[in-house]
Amino acid sequence: MITIQFTRLPHGEGLPVPALQTPGSAGYDLASAEAVVLQPMERRAVRSGFAIAVPEGFECQVRPRSGLALRHGITLPNTPATIDSDYRGELMIALVNLGTEAFTVERGMRVAQLAFARVEQARFVEVTELPPTSRGEGGFGSTGR
């Protein structure tokens, strides 16, 4: 288990701390700190009222909530969004309304989930040829249905 330090910003007063909804949940539900109306196809960054410190060697992924996506078309345009370990600003939730009707986000409504994952550092090595595989360069549906 990792420890996530957080700061509640003034407009986050009274909002729940991100939390798991069931013992088996992978994502910590995150609420909106503001009320907004999203028109169909509108994108907007919604404030959360929290800033967090992700430990070095980890990232925080911001993911959509499946019920909002299925029932209303509310999702994240850059899913999963990444909060890096050196970011200390407010958690902002980029939302998009892919539905056909306006959607009201109420203050305190759970609009996204936070999931934490280890991040490995990579070293890029330039080579003249990559090792072959049976798949080769096939992509975008090349493996069938």
CATH number for the segment(s) 16-118: 2.70.40.10
Cα separation, 109 vs 61, whole angstroms: 19
Model pLDDT for residues 72-124, shown as the tens digit of each residue: 999 999 999 999 999 999 999 999 999 999 999 999 999 999 999 999 999 99
Burial of 98 (0-12, 13-18, 19+ CB in 10 A): middle
The 10s digit of each residue's pLDDT in 47-67 is 999 999 999 999 999 999 999
Predicted structure pTM score = 0.87
Neighbours of 123 (CB within 10 A): 4
